Amino acid sequence: MRALLQRVAEASVTVEGAVVGAIGPGLLVLVCAMPGDTEAEAQRLAGRIARLRIFRDANGRMNLPVTASGNAVLAVSQFTLAADMASGNRPGFSRAAPPDEALRLYQDFCTALGALGIEVQTGIFGAEMKVALVNDGPVTIWIDTADRA
């Protein structure tokens, strides 16, 4: 699975003119399931995000995880993170998991975050969404479970 995280002061997702998910301080997580990803990888990604120390401590240092800071996560499915730009100018998305598999893994990911004590707001899988955010820092981090670091 892949995720692009942005530390935010606030973020929201709107579908057909209605806000369906919104958070104050926390993380906006754009998440993409890849073919062959498993529930275990969804849980591993959630754990890595929960432990990532990118929130400021009392000394202003990036030293706290989202779990310690009391912040929330806005998780938005984003199949375009699987874009293949190997040739031409039009991206291909065949490296994204099929929709039914991707939905299941996205839900597994959100459930795993919630089980770690994190408030999770979501977009609507497969919908045309408008995502708004105020980046804090800015801090933007890419995580891919295929990278075994």
Residues 61 and 42: their CA atoms lie apart, in Å, by: 29
- Written as one letter, the residue type at 136 is D
Task: Provide the pLDDT for residue 148.
Answer: 61
User: How many other β-carbons are positioned within 10 Å of the β-carbon of residue 44?
Assistant: 16
Residues 50 and 107: their CA atoms lie apart, in Å, by: 16
Read off the pLDDT of residues 4-19 as tens digits, 9 standing for 90 and up.
999 999 999 999 999 9
Task: Provide the pLDDT for residue 146.
Answer: 87
Regions of the chain where pLDDT drops below 50: none
CA dihedral 123, 84, 42, 52 (to 10 degrees): -80
pLDDT above 70 covers a percentage of the chain that reads 99
* Residues identified as active-site: 78-80
128 three-state secondary structure = coil
Task: Provide the pLDDT for residue 87.
Answer: 86
The H-or-E segment that residue 105 falls in is helix 99-115
149 three-state secondary structure = coil
Homologous superfamily of the 2-144 domain (CATH) = D-tyrosyl-tRNA(Tyr) deacylase (3.50.80.10)
